[in-house]
């Protein structure tokens, strides 16, 4: 495995047009055609020191550098790349999400593309993956991949993660599984996987729902199917959207008040997700703020700050016109709520989306 060059290409913010680069003129018959869309992150991170795994610059290397660092990919797929953005994933915003999703839909509609791999920072990777899970209109595999160590580090994890992601995207059994996340050999469903550790390479975990499968040796093994609606079965369509409704997240804590709800509503929020305590519990003042927000036409979803488990729907939710998040964590509940609000403002209808997706 060739190590990634430390000569970082200039980091850029969101590029305005997707540019095709690193195409393989010698496409091999019989190999799947896989497109890699790069957005930045630690997998494209660079540092002057090969022991630096925290102070590096995310989104420093371009897609050509990533592809050229793993020439072994050419033995398993015809690989070409495009740079969609080159940012740390905290800076992936709705504009990047829409640009990325529209490009994936264009690519997968073509007979020339068998699957897509997205390289992405891990901090918000699950949000992008779940967004794509809800809006990609294809059964072809989409794999979102990242790394916890920059490309310049000793024992960097990005190259093998990328190789594995390309392998999964070119595997016929990966079709119809929704958008997948691959890190550390594990294949997770975008709906179920979450980042659980700040710096560890085994950070992506799924609790009750488990993993879809694993890459072991030179094979891809699938054991589970995602049961929630996704991709080709999803009703959400972003083809004609140029923006998404503003949805904010509030965090529940002792001694909190109502004023952050008022601030979100005043700032133009169309939806609010609350990271409630325990089973989505809100304090009296927080609940009063939420009820007031609902009265002003804002959709409010109760999720949980616990990190796992289902927020169960209660009769009080119906009385208050509120929505429960099922097992979606706050950041993924925000993604679903943004898309739900492109269809309806009705809390009962939005609740059915949270029950089904």
Ligand X SMILES: NC(=O)C[C@H](N)C(=O)O
Binding-site member from 122, 138, 184, 351 for ligand X (CB under 6 A): 122
Q: Which residue is nearest to ligand X (CB)?
A: 121
CA angle 151, 157, 160 (to 5 degrees): 105
Segment interacting with ligand X, rule: CB under 6 A, options 121-129, 154-162, 170-178, 253-261: 121-129
Smaller CB separation from ligand X, 11 or 215: 11
Burial (CB < 10 A; 0-12, 13-18, 19+), residue 178, is buried
Smaller CB separation from ligand X, 88 or 178: 88
Decide: is 39 part of the binding site for ligand X (CB under 6 A). no
Decide: is 86 part of the binding site for ligand X (CB under 6 A). no
Burial (CB < 10 A; 0-12, 13-18, 19+), residue 273, is buried
Q: Is 24 annotated in the active site?
A: no
Decide: is 148 part of the binding site for ligand X (CB under 6 A). yes
For the segment 151-190, give every residue that binds ligand X (CB under 6 A): none
**Three-class SS state of 286:** helix
Smaller CB separation from ligand X, 91 or 133: 91
Q: Find the catalytic residue in 39, 42, 128, 203.
A: 42
Compute how many residues bind ligand X; rule: CB under 6 A.
Answer: 10
Decide: is 133 part of the binding site for ligand X (CB under 6 A). no
CB-based contact 81:227 (threshold 8 Å): no
CA distance 52 to 25: 36
- Shortest Å, Cβ 76 to ligand X: 24
**Three-class SS state of 188:** strand
- Shortest Å, Cβ 91 to ligand X: 8
Segment interacting with ligand X, rule: CB under 6 A, options 71-79, 115-123, 130-138, 216-224: 115-123
Q: Find the catalytic residue in 65, 122, 152, 194.
A: 122
Q: Is 122 annotated in the active site?
A: yes
Q: Supply 227's token pair.
A: 């049961």
Binding-site member from 82, 123, 157, 317 for ligand X (CB under 6 A): 123
Binding-site member from 88, 271, 276, 330 for ligand X (CB under 6 A): 88
Smaller CB separation from ligand X, 123 or 326: 123
DSSP string covering 4-23: PPS-PPPP-S--SS-EEES-
Smaller CB separation from ligand X, 114 or 126: 126
- Under 8 Å CB-to-CB from 229, ≥6 apart: which residues? 356, 357
Q: How many CA atoms lie within 13 Å of 264's alpha carbon, on the beta-carbon side?
A: 28
Distances (CA, A) of 103 to 132, 165, 232: 11, 19, 16
- Shortest Å, Cβ 208 to ligand X: 25
CB-based contact 128:118 (threshold 8 Å): yes
Decide: is 89 part of the binding site for ligand X (CB under 6 A). yes
Decide: is 42 part of the binding site for ligand X (CB under 6 A). yes
Decide: is 282 part of the binding site for ligand X (CB under 6 A). no
CA distance 81 to 22: 6
Cα 93 off chain centre by: 11
Cα dihedral value 54, 83, 92, 138, nearest 10: -120
Catalytic residues: 42, 122
Q: Which residues sit at the interface with ligand X, rule CB under 6 A?
A: 41-42, 58, 88-89, 121-123, 146, 148
């Amino acid at each position: 495995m060739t190590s990634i060059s430390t000569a970082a290409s200039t980091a850029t913010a969101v590029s305005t047009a997707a540019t095709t680069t690193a195409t393989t003129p010698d496409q091999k018959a019989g190999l799947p055609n896989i497109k890699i869309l790069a957005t930045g992150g630690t997998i494209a991170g660079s540092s002057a020191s090969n022991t630096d795994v925290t102070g590096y610059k995310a989104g420093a290397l371009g897609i050509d550098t990533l592809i050229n660092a793993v020439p072994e990919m050419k033995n398993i797929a015809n690989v070409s790349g495009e740079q969609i953005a080159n940012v740390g994933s905290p800076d992936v915003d709705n504009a990047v999400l829409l640009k990325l999703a529209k490009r994936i839909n264009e690519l997968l509609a073509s007979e020339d593309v068998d699957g897509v791999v997205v390289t992405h920072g891990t901090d918000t990777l699950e949000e992008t993956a779940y967004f794509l899970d809800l809006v990609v209109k294809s059964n072809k595999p989409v794999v979102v991949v990242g790394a916890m160590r920059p490309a310049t580090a000793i024992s960097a994890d990005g190259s093998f993660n990328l190789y594995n992601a390309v392998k999964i995207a070119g595997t016929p059994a990966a079709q119809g599984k929704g958008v997948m996340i691959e890190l550390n050999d594990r294949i997770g469903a975008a709906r179920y996987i979450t980042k659980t550790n700040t710096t560890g390479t085994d950070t992506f975990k799924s609790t009750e729902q488990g993993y879809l499968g694993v890459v072991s040796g030179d094979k891809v093994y699938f054991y589970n199917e995602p049961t929630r609606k996704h991709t080709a079965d999803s009703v959400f369509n972003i083809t004609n959207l140029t923006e998404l409704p503003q949805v904010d997240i509030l965090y529940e804590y002792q001694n909190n008040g109502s004023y952050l709800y008022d601030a979100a509503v005043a700032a133009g929020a169309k939806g609010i997700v609350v990271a409630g305590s325990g089973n989505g519990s809100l304090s009296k003042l927080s609940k009063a703020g939420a009820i007031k927000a609902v009265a002003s036409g804002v959709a409010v979803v109760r999720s949980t700050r616990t990190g796992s488990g289902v927020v169960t729907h209660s009769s009080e939710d119906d009385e208050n016109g509120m929505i429960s998040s099922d097992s979606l964590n706050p950041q993924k509940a925000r993604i679903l709520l943004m898309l739900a609000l492109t269809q309806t403002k009705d809390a009962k209808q939005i609740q059915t989306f949270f029950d089904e997706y």
